[in-house]
Amino acid sequence: MKIAVCVSGGGTNLQAIIDKIESGEIHNTEIAVVISNNKNAYALERAAKAGIEGVCISPKDYASRDEFNKAFLEKLDSYNVDLVVLAGFLVVIPPEMIRKYRNKIINIHPSLIPSFCGTGYYGLKVHEGVLERGVKVTGATCHFVDEGTDTGPIILQKAVEVLEGDTPEILQRRVMEQAEWIIMPKAIDLIASGKVSVVDGIAHISEN
Protein backbone atom coordinates (compact mmCIF):
# COMPACT_ATOMS: atom_id res chain seq x y z
CA MET A 1 0.00 0.00 0.00
CA LYS A 2 1.26 3.43 -0.94
CA ILE A 3 0.49 6.31 1.39
CA ALA A 4 0.88 10.09 1.38
CA VAL A 5 1.45 11.82 4.71
CA CYS A 6 0.29 15.44 5.01
CA VAL A 7 1.80 17.47 7.82
CA SER A 8 2.15 21.12 8.82
CA GLY A 9 4.69 21.10 11.64
CA GLY A 10 7.26 19.01 13.44
CA GLY A 11 6.08 15.67 12.14
CA THR A 12 6.25 13.55 15.28
CA ASN A 13 3.42 11.34 14.04
CA LEU A 14 5.20 11.08 10.69
CA GLN A 15 8.31 9.89 12.54
CA ALA A 16 6.28 7.27 14.41
CA ILE A 17 4.97 5.99 11.05
CA ILE A 18 8.45 5.96 9.46
CA ASP A 19 9.89 4.09 12.46
CA LYS A 20 7.14 1.48 12.52
CA ILE A 21 7.37 0.83 8.78
CA GLU A 22 11.12 0.28 9.23
CA SER A 23 10.62 -2.00 12.25
CA GLY A 24 7.99 -4.04 10.40
CA GLU A 25 5.16 -3.14 12.77
CA ILE A 26 3.36 -1.58 9.79
CA HIS A 27 3.19 -4.22 7.07
CA ASN A 28 3.38 -3.86 3.25
CA THR A 29 3.25 -0.06 3.38
CA GLU A 30 5.48 2.59 1.85
CA ILE A 31 5.33 6.37 2.14
CA ALA A 32 5.26 7.68 -1.43
CA VAL A 33 5.37 11.36 -0.46
CA VAL A 34 5.23 13.77 2.46
CA ILE A 35 3.23 16.90 1.65
CA SER A 36 3.40 20.04 3.76
CA ASN A 37 1.73 23.43 3.46
CA ASN A 38 4.69 24.93 5.32
CA LYS A 39 8.09 24.98 3.65
CA ASN A 40 9.79 25.34 7.05
CA ALA A 41 8.06 22.30 8.55
CA TYR A 42 10.57 20.06 10.28
CA ALA A 43 8.53 17.16 8.94
CA LEU A 44 10.09 17.78 5.51
CA GLU A 45 13.55 17.30 7.04
CA ARG A 46 12.37 14.06 8.64
CA ALA A 47 11.20 12.90 5.21
CA ALA A 48 14.53 13.82 3.60
CA LYS A 49 16.48 11.95 6.28
CA ALA A 50 14.36 8.87 5.62
CA GLY A 51 14.87 9.15 1.85
CA ILE A 52 11.21 10.03 1.24
CA GLU A 53 10.16 12.66 -1.26
CA GLY A 54 8.84 15.80 0.40
CA VAL A 55 6.90 18.58 -1.29
CA CYS A 56 5.51 21.88 -0.10
CA ILE A 57 2.23 23.22 -1.46
CA SER A 58 1.18 26.38 0.33
CA PRO A 59 -2.11 28.27 -0.02
CA LYS A 60 0.02 31.43 0.17
CA ASP A 61 1.46 30.65 -3.28
CA TYR A 62 -1.95 30.70 -4.98
CA ALA A 63 -4.29 33.56 -5.82
CA SER A 64 -7.33 31.76 -4.44
CA ARG A 65 -8.20 28.81 -2.26
CA ASP A 66 -9.79 27.14 -5.30
CA GLU A 67 -6.50 27.29 -7.19
CA PHE A 68 -4.63 25.90 -4.20
CA ASN A 69 -7.16 23.08 -3.80
CA LYS A 70 -6.82 22.18 -7.47
CA ALA A 71 -3.01 22.17 -7.33
CA PHE A 72 -3.00 20.20 -4.10
CA LEU A 73 -5.31 17.53 -5.49
CA GLU A 74 -3.37 17.28 -8.77
CA LYS A 75 -0.12 16.81 -6.84
CA LEU A 76 -1.65 14.19 -4.59
CA ASP A 77 -3.23 12.34 -7.54
CA SER A 78 0.15 12.14 -9.27
CA TYR A 79 1.43 9.73 -6.61
CA ASN A 80 -1.41 7.20 -7.01
CA VAL A 81 -1.63 6.54 -3.29
CA ASP A 82 -4.02 4.13 -1.61
CA LEU A 83 -4.33 6.13 1.60
CA VAL A 84 -3.83 9.75 2.68
CA VAL A 85 -2.66 10.23 6.27
CA LEU A 86 -3.25 13.61 7.93
CA ALA A 87 -0.63 13.82 10.68
CA GLY A 88 -1.05 17.29 12.12
CA PHE A 89 -2.19 18.92 8.87
CA LEU A 90 -3.75 22.31 9.58
CA VAL A 91 -5.28 22.88 6.17
CA VAL A 92 -8.97 22.42 5.45
CA ILE A 93 -9.27 19.43 3.12
CA PRO A 94 -11.03 20.37 -0.14
CA PRO A 95 -14.50 18.76 -0.49
CA GLU A 96 -13.59 17.40 -3.93
CA MET A 97 -10.61 15.60 -2.38
CA ILE A 98 -12.84 14.07 0.31
CA ARG A 99 -15.24 12.87 -2.39
CA LYS A 100 -12.47 11.42 -4.54
CA TYR A 101 -10.71 9.72 -1.61
CA ARG A 102 -13.81 8.58 0.28
CA ASN A 103 -12.72 6.43 3.25
CA LYS A 104 -9.12 6.73 2.05
CA ILE A 105 -8.13 9.70 4.22
CA ILE A 106 -7.38 9.22 7.91
CA ASN A 107 -6.69 11.80 10.60
CA ILE A 108 -5.36 11.73 14.14
CA HIS A 109 -7.12 13.93 16.68
CA PRO A 110 -5.74 14.42 20.21
CA SER A 111 -8.94 13.73 22.18
CA LEU A 112 -11.56 11.03 22.59
CA ILE A 113 -14.05 12.12 19.92
CA PRO A 114 -16.82 13.35 20.32
CA SER A 115 -15.25 15.28 23.22
CA PHE A 116 -13.05 18.30 22.51
CA CYS A 117 -13.29 18.13 18.76
CA GLY A 118 -14.74 20.11 15.88
CA THR A 119 -14.13 23.70 14.84
CA GLY A 120 -11.57 25.50 16.98
CA TYR A 121 -10.23 22.37 18.67
CA TYR A 122 -6.74 21.76 17.31
CA GLY A 123 -3.22 21.57 18.73
CA LEU A 124 -2.85 22.85 22.28
CA LYS A 125 -6.41 24.21 22.26
CA VAL A 126 -7.67 20.63 22.68
CA HIS A 127 -5.57 20.07 25.79
CA GLU A 128 -6.42 23.49 27.20
CA GLY A 129 -10.11 22.56 26.83
CA VAL A 130 -9.56 19.23 28.60
CA LEU A 131 -7.82 20.90 31.57
CA GLU A 132 -10.38 23.70 31.80
CA ARG A 133 -13.22 21.17 31.91
CA GLY A 134 -11.44 19.06 34.53
CA VAL A 135 -11.95 15.71 32.85
CA LYS A 136 -9.90 12.82 34.25
CA VAL A 137 -9.40 10.88 31.02
CA THR A 138 -8.51 12.13 27.56
CA GLY A 139 -6.76 10.38 24.68
CA ALA A 140 -6.57 10.28 20.91
CA THR A 141 -8.78 9.15 18.04
CA CYS A 142 -7.84 7.94 14.58
CA HIS A 143 -10.71 8.38 12.15
CA PHE A 144 -11.61 8.59 8.48
CA VAL A 145 -12.16 12.09 7.15
CA ASP A 146 -15.55 13.20 5.85
CA GLU A 147 -17.07 16.61 5.08
CA GLY A 148 -17.42 17.56 8.74
CA THR A 149 -14.72 18.51 11.24
CA ASP A 150 -13.63 15.40 13.17
CA THR A 151 -16.92 13.67 12.30
CA GLY A 152 -15.81 10.75 10.09
CA PRO A 153 -15.96 7.04 11.03
CA ILE A 154 -13.78 6.24 14.05
CA ILE A 155 -11.14 3.53 13.53
CA LEU A 156 -9.26 3.41 16.84
CA GLN A 157 -9.25 5.29 20.15
CA LYS A 158 -6.91 5.12 23.11
CA ALA A 159 -7.43 6.67 26.52
CA VAL A 160 -4.80 8.62 28.44
CA GLU A 161 -5.02 9.68 32.07
CA VAL A 162 -5.06 13.37 32.97
CA LEU A 163 -2.79 13.98 35.98
CA GLU A 164 -2.70 16.63 38.70
CA GLY A 165 -0.39 19.46 37.72
CA ASP A 166 -0.67 18.83 33.98
CA THR A 167 -0.09 21.81 31.71
CA PRO A 168 -1.44 21.76 28.14
CA GLU A 169 2.12 21.09 26.91
CA ILE A 170 2.74 18.20 29.31
CA LEU A 171 -0.63 16.65 28.49
CA GLN A 172 -0.07 17.10 24.76
CA ARG A 173 3.20 15.18 25.01
CA ARG A 174 1.66 12.35 27.05
CA VAL A 175 -1.24 11.99 24.59
CA MET A 176 1.25 11.78 21.72
CA GLU A 177 3.47 9.20 23.42
CA GLN A 178 0.74 7.04 24.95
CA ALA A 179 -1.90 7.28 22.23
CA GLU A 180 -1.22 9.09 18.94
CA TRP A 181 2.08 7.39 18.09
CA ILE A 182 0.51 4.01 18.84
CA ILE A 183 -2.93 4.12 17.21
CA MET A 184 -2.03 5.99 14.02
CA PRO A 185 0.54 3.39 12.88
CA LYS A 186 -1.81 0.62 14.05
CA ALA A 187 -4.67 2.03 11.96
CA ILE A 188 -2.40 2.21 8.90
CA ASP A 189 -1.35 -1.40 9.43
CA LEU A 190 -4.99 -2.54 9.79
CA ILE A 191 -5.95 -0.73 6.58
CA ALA A 192 -2.91 -2.10 4.73
CA SER A 193 -3.94 -5.58 5.88
CA GLY A 194 -7.48 -5.10 4.52
CA LYS A 195 -9.03 -5.35 7.98
CA VAL A 196 -10.98 -2.09 8.03
CA SER A 197 -14.33 -1.60 6.31
CA VAL A 198 -16.89 1.19 6.55
CA VAL A 199 -20.57 0.30 6.56
CA ASP A 200 -23.28 2.93 7.06
CA GLY A 201 -20.78 5.43 8.42
CA ILE A 202 -19.29 3.04 11.00
CA ALA A 203 -15.76 1.64 10.68
CA HIS A 204 -15.49 -2.08 11.43
CA ILE A 205 -12.27 -3.95 12.15
CA SER A 206 -12.13 -7.64 11.28
CA GLU A 207 -9.96 -9.99 13.31
CA ASN A 208 -9.03 -12.47 10.59
What CATH number belongs to 108-208? 3.40.50.170
CATH 3.40.50.170 fits 1-101, yes or no: yes
Share of the chain above pLDDT 70, in %: 100
Domains of the chain by residue range: 1-101, 108-208
Q: Which residues pair with 30 in a beta bridge?
A: 2
Which residue of the set 27, 109, 127, 204 is catalytic?
109
From the list 174, 149, 1, 5, the residue with the least C-alpha distance to 88 is 5
Mean pLDDT of 9-33: 97
* Predicted pLDDT of residue 114: 97
Q: Evaluate whether 157 touches 113 at the Cβ level (below 8 Å).
A: yes
What is the three-state SS of the chain? CEEEEECCCCCHHHHHHHHHHHCCCCCCCEEEEEEECCCCCHHHHHHHHCCCCEEECCHHHCCCHHHHHHHHHHHHHCCCCCEEEECCCCCCCCHHHHHHCCCCEEEEECCCCCCCCCCCCCCHHHHHHHHHHCCCEEEEEEEECCCCCCCCCEEEEEEEECCCCCCHHHHHHHHHHHHHHHHHHHHHHHHHCCCEEEECCEEEECCC
* Distance (Å, whole) CA 47 – CA 35: 10
Give the model's pLDDT for residue 155: 98
pTM: predicted TM-score of the whole model, two decimal places: 0.95
Q: What is the pLDDT of residue 179?
A: 98
pLDDT above 90 (res 6): yes
% of the chain with per-residue pLDDT over 90: 95
Pairing of strands 105-109, 83-86: parallel
| Predicted pLDDT of residue 80 | 98
- In this chain, the answer to whether the domains covering 1-101 and 108-208 adopt an identical fold is yes
Residue 109 designated active-site: yes
pLDDT for the residue numbered 15: 98
The reported pLDDT for the residue numbered 126 is 97
Q: For residue 90, what are the CA distances in angstroms to 23, 58, 129, 138, 149?
A: 28, 11, 18, 21, 12
- In the prediction, which pLDDT does 106 show? 98
pLDDT (tens digit, 9 = 90+) per residue, 180-192?
999 999 999 999 9
Quote the crossing angle between the two packed helices 12-22 and 181-192, to the nearest 10°.
Answer: 50
By DSSP bridging, strand 2-6 and strand 30-36 are parallel
pLDDT of residue 14: 97
The per-residue pLDDT for range 57-114, each reduced to its tens digit, is 999 999 999 999 999 999 999 999 999 999 999 898 999 999 999 999 999 999 999 9
Q: What is the pLDDT of residue 165?
A: 97
pLDDT in tens, 117-138: 998 998 999 999 999 999 999 9
Which pLDDT band, with edges at 50, 70 and 90, does 207 fall under?
A: confident
Distance of CA 83 to the CA centre of its chain: 11
pLDDT at 175: 98
